Every structure is written in structure tokens, then in C-alpha cells.
Structure 1
């Protein structure tokens, strides 16, 4: 099997494999040591934006307005998540072990929860086992560009072109708080040690207390939009 026929939009390393997605509408699995393409996942009808390998599952989001779950070894779609009115940009996953042990919810959430963000200004929470939409998170007035989950508190943080970050309870759908000091789109998020770091088109990174929404520091050094950030060993890059 050959390579992608258009540009690669995202890559994830998982054990000794690399998963890539592309504007050619496919996802590919590669042997990192040999460079050989092992599998091709076909089904999306437009650009695949993001992929996420978790809990022995492969999840993907696309401009075709869907997210999908795949059986990794069989190259087959196991679930389609349809409901967004525009392209799906970003993904996060909460495994069953991280969800509350509630007999009323156990059957519905036995496959975990998938959270998706879209240019339709919403995020959605999906039951992976059934493919049903569990909650729609409404409040942003611009596209949802990025999201991150705090699995211990069942909280999703979403960043948007409306220059805000919002915190949500993914079980109830309740909006918990709004982070409002950026002057441009919020492009990337990182959550660590109860601190939320946000990178923006306003050329700054801000650090917030995740539990209260209080801003504790601004990093203003960049000359252009901050498109990615990573916290490592006490430093944010």
C-alpha cells in the first residue's frame, strides 16, 4: 500500500504504529520501524481533520460533518456520529472506567463518551456504544477549534473563535464557567495540575485556574498566533 494522495492533517503515535489522517479522506496506519503502510481506513467523504486512538478504538473527525469510530484491526467503521451542522474539527474521549458507576447510565455509557467540537459553534457528547448524542454543548458564538477533557471531574474545556474558553459538565451538559480575557480566537489548550493553558490568535498564552476560571498569568512573547502548546517538566512551550 502506498502513501496519502494529499496533505496530512494530523498524526498520532501509538506503540510501534503511527496513525495519520489526510485531505485525501483516508486514515492510514504505519509501521514506525519499516515505514510500511499497514492499513487504510476509507469511509469519510471529505478532509479528515483529527484522529484519536484510545481504548483500542480509532476515532476520527471530518469536514463531512461526521465523527467516526473504527475497528482498528479490520479497517471498518463501527459507529458514525451524525448531528453536527458543519465540519467536525476536534475530538476527545472519556473511557468507561472514568465515568460514574451509575446503573442507569452504565448501559448507555459502556463504550465511553466521545466529545466533538465543530464549526457549527457547538460541541457534542456522544455515547460511543450506541452512537447517540448524549448532550449538545451550546454557548459559543464561534467555531469550536479545540477541546480538552478533565476525566476526573467529567469536565470538557472548549476554545473558540469567539475568543472564549468554556467549561462544561459532559454528563449534564451544563456550562460551568467562561474564560474571557483573550482578544482573538482560542486555538489550542493544555490542561495539567489543575491549570489550563490557552493559546490564541491574539499572540498570547494564558494560564488559568481550571476550577475557578481565574487567570493567573499571561505569556505575551509571541509575534504571531499561538497554534500549539505543550506543558513539560514545569515549562509551557
Structure 2
């Protein structure tokens, strides 16, 4: 441990910088997109180039490798689908009017984001635009998609999350193209985003050097991570080792009883929200202000020792002594004494809240004031 590693294989056939890498689901092939306008398929076993994907008229910005097809997008405003065995271009997706930044293949749909301030959903089979998402005020950089996990989302066709250089992320209903939520809080461009395993919490990274967690159903910002000193350009989210993802239809043991009670855990809060009819109001308490656990079991009655401790703690404070070091109890004799001396004021310590006149005492008359001799208790 600690020494420098050695390269296992070198794939050096590109003539320009490599902008993106994508590994096949079985791990046997690697797809690369380059500044030279081409994409290449490589064998991870021996590092040989299996196919050269040529056809783009400008540099390749992003690529994604699936089992039976490869997808690339380019600064030439197009997206292309390729045969992974022959390297032949199967489909060209045209419609964006500027650089295509990202693509995402999910649920038999192709999603794309572009500098033209839009995101689009395409039919993979027909190569046509199925839905257009407009609303960002600047270019759309990054994408994430979550499938339906409840009746409302099933009707919406799932949710698409987009991040933009306008400093916001937006949550879209795929079926209707409507903006479901706008996630506001970043003070810089949103460069990357990722969803957690249940798909209800989004994490966004920005040029403002923060990472923020969001509930995508309610639009609430859950927390902010502020330790970076520069732009956050990439994010990855994973489950704890050995913890399988919960099926969307499986009831959660942490599911709340008809309200938005949830623990501070983002995954728990998101699962709770997805199954409740009311939106998430807080990640720590129910809308009524008490947690579900506290409603199920009442706290035990306090012991005698704790009651005595509480009585002592909340008892009225003792009388505060006079701050004058030579204070003496006030004389009842109204005689002011020799000239130049003032009688001492009544010592502090009358019962709290009892006015002086209710004790049957009258304040002593004031002695003639002598300059420089006034001392107060």
C-alpha cells in the first residue's frame, strides 16, 4: 500500500481529449467520447478498440453505453444511437438548437439537456421528441430521472430533475411536461446532481462550493454541505453496503400514520413523503409538532426526586444582598442623625413582589444632600 500504481492497459487511439467514459452493465466494454468528434468502444479485457463510432460533426460531449446500443451527444446539436457490434449509426435525434450537454437513457426513454435552455424526452424507437421541458433561464447541464413509486407519480410518468447555470434545479412531470418544483438556494450554477436510491432526495453540486440536499416532492431544502473551497463538479450517491433498495410498493416500517412524520434521515423522509397524502413540512417532526414515537408511548411519570429537583430549580431566587459592603439595616427612627450623614437605606431583601407600603413602613426622610457624599445601595 502507498506506492504508485501501474497502468493495466492504455487505450490511446483518440486524437483529442476524452470528455466522457461509460462502462457497459456487464463491465466487458468501455465507451469513450472525444474532442476529435468520435466515440470508441474498447474491450476491458485486453484494451483493444472494438469499434469506431464516426458521424458527429463536432466534439462529443457525453456518451452512455447500454447492453445493445451506445448513445452519444455532441456540440453539433444532435444525439446518435449506435450498434455496439458493428459501430453503425442506427438513429439520429435532431431538434436541439445548441450544444447537447447530457443524455440519459431510462425507462425506454431518452432524455437530453442543452445550451438552448431546454431538456427533452425522446422516443428511443422512433427518434422523435416526445416532450419538451422549458422554464430554465439559462443552459441546462445535468439530468436525473426517477421512476414512479406511487399513484400520483405513475400518472405523471416519473419525474425528471434538471440542473442549470441559472442556479436552480427543476423537477418535471415527464408525462405532462409541467414543472413540479423549482429548487432554489444555490448562488451559482448547478453543475451536477444525483438522486438517492429511493429517488426522493436530490443532491446538487454548484459553483458556489456547496452541496445541497432536497426533497424533490415538496421542494424543501433538507441540508447544506459547505466544506468545499471550490466548485463541486461531480456527485455520486450509494446505499450502505449490504442494504438492498426497498421496492417502491413495499410498505416501509418507518411509514408515518397519515402525516409527514419522519426522521432526519433523508431516505426515511423521502419514503415517508412518497407514501403520505400531505406534503413534507419538516424532516424532524409531524405537522402537529410531535413525533410518531411520542404519540405511541406516553413518558413515565416523574419520580419524587426529579419533582423535588424541578421544584428547587424553578423556585423563586433568594433575595439579592445589597452590593454596598458596609450596608446596615435601615433604622426605624426617622432622625436623620448628625449633619452631613445620611441614614442607610433599607437593606435589600424584602419578600419578592411585596410593596414597601404594604409592610407598614414609611421611607425615611432624606437628609440634606452634601456634594460628593452620595452613596447608593
- Aligned-partner Cα distance in 2 for 1:19–1:40: 10
Alignment match, 1:41: 93
1:26 aligns with 2:78: yes
Alignment match, 1:124: 170
> What runs of 5+ residues in structure 2 fail to find an aligned partner?
1-52, 242-263, 267-377
What does residue range 99-110 of structure 1 map to in structure 2 within 5 Å?
99=149, 101-102=150-151, 105-106=152-153, 108-109=155-156
1:173 aligns with 2:225: no
> What runs of 5+ residues in structure 1 fail to find an aligned partner?
196-209, 213-237
List per-residue Cα deviations over 1:2-28 (Å, max 9, x = no partner). 600000000001112100000000000
Deviation (angstroms), 1:124: 0.2
Residues 123 and 129, structure 2, Cα contact 8 Å, conserved in 1:
yes
Moved over 2 A (4+): 105-109
- Aligned-partner Cα distance in 2 for 1:152–1:94: 8
Deviation (angstroms), 1:193: 2.3
Higher strand share: 1
Deviation (angstroms), 1:153: 5.6
Using CA pairs under 8 Å that are at least 6 residues apart, name the structure with larger relative contact order, 1 or 2: 1
- Aligned-partner Cα distance in 1 for 2:84–2:199: 35
- Aligned-partner Cα distance in 2 for 1:176–1:39: 41
- Larger-Rg structure: 2
What's the Cα RMSD here? 1.8
- Aligned-partner Cα distance in 2 for 1:95–1:21: 23
TM-score under structure 2 normalisation? 0.49
Deviation (angstroms), 1:107: 6.0
Give the count of matched residue pairs: 192
Task: Tell me: CA distance 1:211–1:164, structure 2 relative to 1, closer, same or farther (3 Å).
Answer: farther
List per-residue Cα deviations over 1:138-181 (Å, max 9, x = no partner). 00000000000014160000000000000000000000000000
Task: Tell me: CA distance 1:83–1:50, structure 2 relative to 1, closer, same or farther (3 Å).
Answer: same
- Aligned-partner Cα distance in 2 for 1:106–1:33: 37
TM-score under structure 1 normalisation? 0.78
Alignment match, 1:66: 118
